[in-house]
Structure 1
């Protein structure tokens, strides 16, 4: 039968359900992770800085319904993964000195399920508008500085495409909660948990999951929560910046400004690479070396303290004079191209850092303790 869906209908996303995934184990009271701010208060725009990643998958061998049925398991497997990464389920809170912290309070990750009235291949084919339209696949609600406890800093959405059974996993995560590398590590940990629990369910069927699988299929679902034009999610910040990812061995030796000098060098090289004006003012986010966080595979890592220097002026001599050896690398260094769901790797992965404003932004991330650094430099066009 011919597809009679109109172009207008294809430009709408339908929100089918909204839930919250919470850790399966209770976090000890009082646990926090510090977000130190060098020059408080943190600007309101800085609270909206976030990482967005969208992973696209084709249907599995068992047909178009598999992606939707897999969505039944997302909440349960995500909750199990959060037990080993409780910081990802926390909330932001302002401290008395103007710095911030992540309160590990089990509040949870906001989880949505949605559908789009267009096939996956058609959605991906619109390359010129893809970055702007992806905001609908990884939604975000601005953090309210006066009431941050009520604002989830981490969203995940499972979106099913029409006809071919393709689907997308989209995430938006505050940079105060996790840097791009920490987020990727968490998602890879979740995918392993997802695969393990799915495999266990084949041997011992989960009655509740079977029940929910029936009622969450599109043909049997309840009334949609809402239908929203895809373009309404995009903001000016979605199309106004470009990001370059670098690897370097260390912070420039002996330089008085340390990470600020490294950030300035990255800004200088990034501006040349993307043909943008060199930013004279930018913010620097520095993440401490990751630390062991337990977990069943013994390899889980959690980000340490985060330090933010806002509106930093370019350090004199901070470019080539720092001695930093920078290598531009691909986003695939984060590893999300290897995130397997139902025995399949994504056919496409999109990354974006949304700055929330018109300033440059540098994020410095240690790959492992005492080793190399990954650095993102995001600049306005």
Structure 2
């Protein structure tokens, strides 16, 4: 019996959305690395969010693919850091920065050879592997990071008229809460421009629909096969926590991070990774990236008020209410891509003395 043909995602165009007017002030946001210099693999740590929307049927979906560039450009004016680039500040690999340069966000238009309903039938690791094709990422070059985009937005059309909006963002550029805040700001700007009839006009919409024709298929960009998970795949799981910041915690919240790694591993019934990386701001604009060992950082949080509490992304992120064209998403996925065989903790200010912490650990150790 012949094997089924692979399901492909076709990249139809890759553009750049730059701020609608000069937004970057030439400032830089410092990144300080404690421990070994960042490797090429560690530069690929990122957060992904994929939002699924119903369309109006095949060929009649909203004008999403053609109009998001205008609204993204408008939203970047208030969030210039999202249009920046990663850059080295020295030769030892420990000093980096985000340069606010108005360089822009990569915007990808794509289509997939599947219906949204069929795509959402996949569960667990299988869906996570397939969703990677809905949030394109091009690896940041270790030698020339400033020529690589650390933030991608992808609009993917399904065969039944549904579409997905995928966002893939380097954790060195923005933590998950910052990215989520930008996506909400973009949605508000999109609705504002739509109400003012300032979004893209019909001729561009017609061009977008031309890409659906059989003749245009040969002119598409690259195509990628959807990856189906196998038993041999090494996977990770992210657990979200909320906790109060401890006054006596070491810089970078290492003690709290260690407690979250231990709790996340315990929930999975897995052994804690021998090392983990903590990414946290120190109360200023500096992002600290620290390498920690499980044996050396097992100090627990003191007192009940500092104990990390397990949460769900949907309760904290609120992207389930992010409406486009008056419709809320039917599903939202969140995931963190760390390096293999290590834990990754991202500490995020959540208002007041509260912190939101994502702990990503291997679930196969």
TM over 0.5: yes
Give the structure with the larger helix fraction.
1
Aligned length: 352
| Contact 1:266/1:319 (8 A) holds in 2 | no
Shift of 1:211: 1.1
Kept after mapping to 1: 8 A contact 2:251/2:282: no
**Which residue number corresponds to residue 241 of structure 2?**
246
Alignment of 1:126-275 (within 5 A): 126-128=122-124, 129-162=126-159, 164-201=160-197, 209-217=201-209, 218-219=211-212, 222=216, 223-231=219-227, 239-250=234-245, 252-256=246-250, 259-275=253-269
**Kept after mapping to 2: 8 A contact 1:268/1:319:** no
In 1, the alpha carbon distance for the partners of 2:346 and 2:232 equals 17
Is 1:281 aligned with 2:275? yes
Displacement of 1:280: 3.0
1:53-132 to 2 correspondences below 5 Å: 53-60=49-56, 63-67=57-61, 69-96=63-90, 98-128=94-124, 129-132=126-129
1:297-316 equivalence runs, <5 A: 304-315=285-296
Structure-2 separation of matches of 1:69 and 1:24: 20
CA distance in 2 between partners of 1:200 and 1:238 (Å): 48
Question: In 1, Cα distance between the equivalents of 2:242 and 2:232?
Answer: 25
Q: Indicate whether 1:346 and 2:338 are aligned.
A: no
How far residue 287 of structure 1 moved from its aligned partner, in angstroms, is 2.8
Q: Which deviations, in whole Å up to 9, do the C-alpha atoms of 1:232-291 show, x marking residues without a partner? A: 9x89998511110000122x232456611010111111111121211231110003569x
Gaps of 5+ in 1: 1-5, 291-303
Call closer, same or farther: CA 1:140–1:242 in 2, change over 3 Å. same
Task: Determine if the alignment matches structure 1 residue 327 to structure 2 residue 321.
Answer: no
CA shift, 1:127, in A, is 1.5
Deviates more, 1:85-94 or 1:322-331: 322-331
Secondary structure of 2:184's aligned partner: helix
CA change 1:331–1:22 in 2 (3 A) is same
What's the secondary structure of 1:262's corresponding residue? helix
Q: Does residue 365 of structure 2 align to residue 365 of structure 1? A: no
User: Cα 1:236–1:307, aligned 2, differ >3 Å: closer, same or farther?
Assistant: farther
Confirm or deny: 8 A CA contact 1:237 1:356 kept in the other structure.
Answer: no
Matched ranges for 1:26-41 at <5 A: 26-41=22-37
In the alignment, the residues of structure 1 paired with residue 272 and residue 222 of structure 2 have an alpha-carbon distance, to the nearest angstrom, of: 42
- SS of equivalent residue, structure 2 residue 128: helix
**Which residue is equivalent to 1:295?**
none
Kept after mapping to 1: 8 A contact 2:136/2:152: yes
Q: Decide whether aligned partners of structure 1 residues 316 and 230 sit closer, same or farther in structure 2, where only a CA change above 3 A counts.
A: closer
Give the secondary-structure state (helix, strand or coil) at the position aligned to 1:198: helix
Do 2:278 and 2:289's aligned partners in 1 also have CA atoms closer than 8 Å?
A: yes
- Taking structure 1 as the reference length, the TM-score comes to 0.86
Moved more, 173-182 or 304-313: 304-313
What secondary structure sits across from 1:37 in the alignment? strand
SS in 1 for 2:206: helix
For residue 362 of structure 1, give the secondary structure of its aligned residue in structure 2.
strand
RMSD (Å), alpha carbons? 2.5
Q: CA deviation at 1:339?
A: 1.0
Residues 272 and 294, structure 2, Cα contact 8 Å, conserved in 1? no
Q: Distance in 2 between matches of 1:267 and 1:350?
A: 22
